[in-house]
Structure 1
Amino acid sequence: MEDFSSRIKALRKERGLKQSEMAEILGLKERSYQCYEYRERYPDVPGLVAIADFFDVSLDYLMGRSDVRERR
């Protein structure tokens, strides 16, 4: 199973977005977003929810706790 960092990177690439674009969507500086993909930092709970909502996936999928993407 993949971890959070791998999941957000894969989801971002599926959408054809650059890290800078993803950072802008989430209201972050590019470096802050990069820290998520580089396993240096994790977003707070509202940030996790925003990312899951943007990609329309469950929090369990986003965090690597499940391979089922769909939200219940």
Structure 2
Amino acid sequence: MHFQRLRDLREDMDLSQTKIAQLLHTSQTVYSRYERGFQTIPVEHLLILADFYGVSVDYILGRTNVKELNKPKQH
């Protein structure tokens, strides 16, 4: 599965693959494989990326087009 959204999110923040790979404590080569769909993204990395970009895992995976996370309601 190709993850164009990972690339789009990264490029929207003007970040290199190397910077994101550092965030994930992996190599640029491995991260590039994630973006191109040549390697499965571990759940831990998917959660880190979703938190970093402020989007849901479902958005990254293409299961929703809603980019913004639902904010918890304050009482």
* TM-score after normalising by structure 1: 0.88
**Matched ranges for 1:33-44 at <5 A:** 33-44=31-42
Which blocks of at least 5 consecutive residues in structure 2 are unaligned?
71-75
**Identical pairs, percent:** 33
Cα distance in 2, alignment partners of residues 48 and 4 from structure 1 = 14
- Provide the residue aligned with 1:5 in structure 2: 3
Whole-Å separation in 2 of the counterparts to 1:37 and 1:44: 13
> Are 2:22 and 1:24 equivalent residues in the alignment?
yes
Shift of residue 59, structure 1, vs aligned partner: 1.0
In structure 1, stretches of 5+ residues that fail to align are: none
| 2:60 matches 1:62 | yes
Report how many residues are paired.
Answer: 70
CA contact (8 A) 2:58 2:64 kept: yes
After TM superposition, the score normalised by the length of structure 2 is 0.85
Cα RMSD of the aligned pairs, angstroms, is 1.4
Opposite residue 35 of structure 2, the aligned amino acid is E
Specify the SS of the correspondent of 1:65: coil
Rg comparison, structure with higher value: 2
Deviating runs (4+, > 4 A) in structure 1? none
